[in-house]
Structure 1
Amino acid sequence: MFALIGKKAGDPRSRSHVAYLGAEDRRVLPRPLRRMVRFGVSLATGRIHIPGHTGTFATFGFLSAVGLYGMSLGGHAQDVAQATTAAVGFAIEDVRVSGNGETSEIDILQLLGLDGTTSLVALDVDAARRKLSGLPWVQYAEVRKVYPRTIEVMLKEREAFGVWQHGSELSLIERNGSIIAPLRDSKFASLPLFVGRDAETAAASFVDQMAAWPDIRSRIRAYVRVAGRRWDVHLDNGVVLKLPEANIGNALAVMARLEKEQGILERDIAAVDLRLEDRTTVELTTGASERRKDALEARTKALKKAGEQS
């Protein structure tokens, strides 16, 4: 109510003054609140029709949201999804593995945790790929879902190049020198043996150099790295070829000539020293050395006796 003094009821100035005072004192709600008020009024007066069972559905929705939120906080959402989707027909029943020559299918199943109740929907393909890539022989792994109950595992395995002996340990290595796994059986006995420090990293380049000498290479049983600088090669008959640090090709050419002209590798020798370019040294076996010594002594005595008689 507004109090008007000294003005007539019909005076226009009075009406304008009333309107002015009303506009000043009136409070206007923000637009979002006005919508809420109008909705509340309409709901109270029955102008808005609410379908039956809305409250029941809303209650269930609220409880479901609270449950999901609780499972998320507790870290059980994945387990619930796993159990639910497996129960409705998405449990993994078939695993197709390809490309595995050295990797056991049992190891794959155990690593992925596939026990017959694992859900295909809930399976994390990226995590499965990372796990498989951590297996010793696996270079690359691919995992694919095939709905409704199958996964395909495709592997690319590493290739064994040789056996590296470091101390008392034997390990399978790749061509680049990377260790694949410890040597556990005689399955890879035919692979070349590399011995010594840095032998695993220098192996491939040296074997490539030996490719030009197939007759010698076919007889090598072990490549021994000496002081991380040069190689000794052990042949199938026990003879050791001591190669230089540089100009290996020249040394092998000398060795090939000696073998062709004199059949030196078939003699009773222990080693051929090819480290010096201007000369080649042959080391006899213990038995051959003793026989040579005896022969020299006998020859000396014979010459001495012949001189005395003359």
Structure 2
Amino acid sequence: MRPLSPRSDILLDRGPGRLALLFGRTSRRLQALTASASQLSLPRFGAVAFAVVGSAVVYGVVVGGHTGEVLDGFGQPLGFAIDKVAVHGNSETSEIDVLQALWQTGSQTLLSLDPTAARQTLEAMPWIDRASVSKIFPDRVEINLDEHRPYAIWQSDGAFFVVNREGKKIVPYLPGRFDALPVVVGTGAAGSAAGIIDDMEAYPELRARVRAYIRVGGRRWDLELKNGVVIRLPEEKPIEAVAEVVRMERQNTLLDRDIAMVDMRLSDRVVVRLTDDSLKRRKERLEERAKLIKRLAKDKPV
């Protein structure tokens, strides 16, 4: 047989001598690791306790919602208390209202002030469309506002609101300073009125006579004039119908006559309806004419 190599002899040796050798090597390695670990500097008990307690305090502050109070407690002695607030771009919104909204956030220093939360609070105010809030250390807050622009008065379900160009309600309407705004009436009128109102600028003599723009069926417009005349516009190309009404008014003073309605919805003709009083007078005139013709026929028999 081929003799075994020395390596094979060691592997096959399972006797007590082999086990003693292995235990000896393991013991020496454990002793070396223990000696190395003993040379490392361990933290003192006070430092460990401070870290544990500090972490618990921070966790409690955050979970309990007291972060702002803690930051204000640190910030005020350091000079970070909010001392100056500059407001720009406000016309309808008073600075006092802006400051009150800022204080509602609960922040007393720049450290605790959240510009995003402050901006959202300001934009929830009636007149403010967009707002930006900037912190200028150590003690200044800069606020820039873009306010809604009043565009029309919207009547809906008996209530009146001042709305912007997009039809967003700003504030309830009260008679006074916004009386010159155009009045729009009906469901969906506020959001779609800008088109017809802007187009009417080309015909200032008629626009000045309009009392209200009435939305009909969410599709078309009626113009109610200040003298009570109603102009019914078609769904398609309404401004062309307006131009035709202006032409007839210039030529025949149509809108100053005793009429109740001008219907422009038919493409091939204009329909005019008289007022009730005018109809009554016209009927009386026709009856008088019929009596006169009958009387003349009796006086001059054929």
CA distance in 1, matches of 2:45, 2:202: 88
Distance 1:159 1:284, change over 3 A: same
> Counterparts of 1:29-44 in structure 2 under 5 Å?
29=30, 34-39=35-40
SS of 1:255's partner is: helix
Could you tell me how far 1:296 is from its partner in structure 2? 2.0
Q: Give the equivalent residue in structure 1 for 2:214.
A: 224
CA distance in 2, matches of 1:236, 1:30: 107
Q: Which runs of 4+ in 1 moved over 4 A?
A: 19-23, 29-35, 54-66, 114-117
Native 8 Å contact 2:185 2:212 kept in 1: yes
Distance 1:185 1:301, change over 3 A: closer
Could you tell me how far 1:73 is from its partner in structure 2? 4.4
Matching residue's letter, 1:120: L
Distance 1:116 1:77, change over 3 A: closer
- Any gaps of 5 or more consecutive residues in structure 1? 1-16, 44-53
Q: Give the equivalent residue in structure 2 for 1:182.
A: 172
Q: Give the equivalent residue in structure 1 for 2:98.
A: 108
Which residue, 227, 237, 240 being the options, matches 2:230?
A: 240
Q: Give the equivalent residue in structure 1 for 2:254.
A: 264
CA distance in 2, matches of 1:33, 1:209: 92
Q: Give the equivalent residue in structure 2 for 1:86.
A: 76
Distance 1:29 1:309, change over 3 A: farther
1:302 aligns with 2:292: yes
> Counterparts of 1:136-285 in structure 2 under 5 Å?
136-285=126-275
Distance 1:230 1:117, change over 3 A: closer
CA distance in 1, matches of 2:106, 2:240: 64
Distance 1:25 1:62, change over 3 A: closer
Q: Give the equivalent residue in structure 2 for 1:11.
A: none
CA distance in 1, matches of 2:95, 2:31: 67
Which stretch shows the higher mean deviation, 161-170 or 104-113? 104-113
Matching residue's letter, 2:210: I
Distance 1:242 1:65, change over 3 A: closer
Identical positions, percent: 39
Distance 1:115 1:259, change over 3 A: closer
Native 8 Å contact 1:93 1:116 kept in 2: no
Could you tell me how far 1:65 is from its partner in structure 2? 5.3
Q: What is the TM-score when the length of structure 2 is the normalising length?
A: 0.79
1:26 aligns with 2:27: yes
- Any gaps of 5 or more consecutive residues in structure 2? 1-17
Distance 1:34 1:73, change over 3 A: farther
Could you tell me how far 1:259 is from its partner in structure 2? 0.9
Native 8 Å contact 1:86 1:120 kept in 2: no
Distance 1:266 1:33, change over 3 A: farther
CA distance in 2, matches of 1:281, 1:202: 26
Distance 1:242 1:72, change over 3 A: closer
Which residue, 61, 76, 97 being the options, matches 2:66?
A: 76
CA distance in 1, matches of 2:159, 2:141: 38
1:127 aligns with 2:86: no
SS of 1:90's partner is: coil
Q: Give the equivalent residue in structure 2 for 1:50.
A: none
CA distance in 1, matches of 2:171, 2:48: 60
Native 8 Å contact 1:223 1:231 kept in 2: yes
Matching residue's letter, 1:210: M
Matching residue's letter, 2:247: R
Could you tell me how far 1:134 is from its partner in structure 2? 2.3
Distance 1:30 1:112, change over 3 A: farther
The alignment's C-alpha RMSD in Å is 3.2
Q: Give the equivalent residue in structure 1 for 2:280.
A: 290
CA distance in 2, matches of 1:31, 1:267: 117
Q: Give the equivalent residue in structure 1 for 2:8.
A: none
Q: Give the equivalent residue in structure 1 for 2:12.
A: none
Cα distance per residue 1:260-296 (max 9 Å; x no partner): 1211212222221222222222222232222222222
Native 8 Å contact 1:251 1:277 kept in 2: no
Distance 1:254 1:114, change over 3 A: closer
SS of 1:120's partner is: coil
SS of 1:234's partner is: strand
Native 8 Å contact 1:196 1:226 kept in 2: yes
CA distance in 2, matches of 1:125, 1:30: 60
What count of residue pairs does the alignment treat as equivalent? Answer: 282
